[in-house]
Structure 1
Amino acid sequence: MPKPHLAVNELRAYCEAVEGGYQNAEIYVLPYAPIPDDVQGELDALRDMGAQVIEFEMECDDWPYLHAPRPRIEQAFLDKVFELLILEIVGEDEEQDPVPLTPSQYILQAVQGCPNLVIVGDAIDLCDQIANHRHPFIFSAIDAFVVLIERLGDVGVLRQYFQDRGLNHAQTGGIGVELDIKLNGATVRRETHHTHLKSGDGTTVQAAVRIYYQCLLRDGIYRVFILYVGPHPDTDFSRTIDLANCG
């Protein structure tokens, strides 16, 4: 991604959008796919115009090896490439905690600051099993839920709201999740929805991440119920929550 015949156009579009001109462009070239001739020519021209073009080599500076004729794209390989690329782009910040939060820790921290973000049952028990390069997707999704709650759901069309944040939102297909919402033991709503956020299709189980959720506005309180976070589930399931226990 992008397809080879579109790559040069994507590269040009990026460079033209960089504020301050080509000298502020940063282009990272990974050694795991053939570089089309027109892209290589563009890279050479951009370098001459002051763009920063960084090229990596396999088996140099910890970059993993990939056998080109018969590549095996395993999870450990993807995690290592993601780790090295982020380190190259962002660098090390000595002031930050050297141990990043896991997805479950991030979610629990968000819930502490936003009690109307509700974890239902064992919804996050599997979330730390996802691939490392999907962690930012989880963090962005949780941040979006918090803002959604702060605005009492008044964000317009949900699909567009999430799309503006780089999140893929789906309301059909996938797994059906029934949520039985009770108040002091009596059901106030029981519905099955397919609503979820997703990242990764046609990939490994750990990299195909899904977040199933439902929302409820009741008595002026807007809640987002987190029903599942983790690798793509393979069966429908149900959850139950009692509002009396939501604080």
Structure 2
Amino acid sequence: MRYLFVYQDFVASVEELLAELSVTDIQVISVKKGESSPSTAVLSCLPEAGGVCAVIQVDRKYRKSLGAVEVEQVFKQFRRNDQVLRQWLVPIPAREQARCPPTEAFEAAVADCGWLMLADDALARADEVSPIRWDFVGRAAQLLRRLALGEQLGPMRQWQANHGIHFAPNGQVHFSYSLPKGPQIQPVYWHLTEGRSTTAEGASRIYFDLRSVEGVAHVLVFYVGPHPEDGGYQASFENAKWCSAPPGVH
């Protein structure tokens, strides 16, 4: 049995969604307004050996009082069409899940593509991304590889429609960096994104830029991982080996 703790105003809607998806292994527990911890009656229903749950619009203090029950997903708002919520409610069978962790996906993408360049610590948090986002990260890695190889992919603002990957030109996170024989680059906000109004791990982000380095276009990846804290970050390419000629030129 899994548990879904839901703010009182959304219990009926959540139960309708469970019925729509034919989910029968989840117990919905209503959290009342102002409640900071589960009642004795609720706690008595929870297994002493632990279990797993998700919460919808439930505050942190309440979540911390759930004892041995592991909180797998935190949803700040209830959205009926939230794909992360739906995938938690109806898990993808293990055989259908993407098996390639984000680190491996990007390492494979850059292995034979010298024009796709990873910052020194670009993958430091990559595998913290929720497994339900691994497919997105893998597809994004291959899309950036294609871009680095010079393929015409169309306007980035249309990538969602044409390639199934959402491009965002701005936001609350930006990266700065320097290039060989060049000045500090102005902050870059470009990123690929999947997941909103969910946990940081469920909201995966890939920050990147397309830039000429000594006359040759490179795709630079600054960060792959869960949604970072808002603010500015510095990317380093001290270990980079830049290509001296574009793809197809020897």
Please indicate the TM-score interval, normalised by the length of the shorter structure: 0.5 to 0.7
CA pair 57-192 structure 1, distance change in 2 beyond 3 A: closer
1:69 is aligned to: 30
1:100 Cα offset (Å): 1.9
Whether the 8 Å contact between 1:209 and 1:232 is mirrored in structure 2 is: yes
1:176 to 140, 150, 174: 174
Paired residue type of 1:167: I
1:86 is aligned to: 92
1:101 Cα offset (Å): 1.8
2:165 is aligned to: 167
Distance 2:27 2:106 in 1: 34
Identity of aligned residues (%): 21
Asked whether 1:155 is paired with 2:153, we answer yes
CA pair 35-106 structure 1, distance change in 2 beyond 3 A: closer
Distance 2:226 2:101 in 1: 15
Distance 2:90 2:28 in 1: 19
1:197 Cα offset (Å): 1.0
| Unmatched 5+ stretches in structure 1 | 1-31, 41-54, 60-64
Q: How does 1:162-241 map to 2 (within 5 A)?
A: 162-182=160-180, 186-187=181-182, 190-218=185-213, 221-234=216-229, 235-241=231-237
C-alpha root-mean-square deviation of aligned residues, in Å?
3.5
For residues 13-68 of structure 1, what are the alpha-carbon distances to aligned partners after superposition, in whole Å with 9 as ceiling and x for unaligned? xxxxxxxxxxxxxxxxxxx64059xx97xxxxxxxxxxxxxx64423xxxxx2415
Distance 2:195 2:203 in 1: 4
Whether the 8 Å contact between 1:181 and 1:240 is mirrored in structure 2 is: no
2:24 is aligned to: 58
1:113 Cα offset (Å): 2.4
2:112 is aligned to: 113
Distance 1:125 1:232 in 2: 13
Whether the 8 Å contact between 2:122 and 2:222 is mirrored in structure 1 is: yes
Whether the 8 Å contact between 2:117 and 2:219 is mirrored in structure 1 is: yes
TM-score (norm: length of structure 1):
0.62
Whether the 8 Å contact between 1:120 and 1:225 is mirrored in structure 2 is: yes
CA pair 197-35 structure 1, distance change in 2 beyond 3 A: closer
1:139 Cα offset (Å): 0.9
1:34 is aligned to: 16
CA pair 218-132 structure 1, distance change in 2 beyond 3 A: same
Whether the 8 Å contact between 2:174 and 2:232 is mirrored in structure 1 is: yes
Distance 1:35 1:216 in 2: 46
Secondary structure, counterpart of 1:67 in structure 2 = strand
Distance 2:136 2:197 in 1: 17
Asked whether 1:140 is paired with 2:136, we answer no
1:15 is aligned to: none
Aligned residue pairs, count: 185
Whether the 8 Å contact between 1:195 and 1:214 is mirrored in structure 2 is: yes
Distance 1:158 1:80 in 2: 28
Distance 2:88 2:55 in 1: 16
Query: Which structure features the higher share of helix residues?
Result: 1
For residues 163-209 of structure 1, what are the alpha-carbon distances to aligned partners after superposition, in whole Å with 9 as ceiling and x for unaligned? 42222211122212112111xxx226622111111111221111121
| Unmatched 5+ stretches in structure 2 | 1-13, 32-53, 57-70, 75-83, 244-250
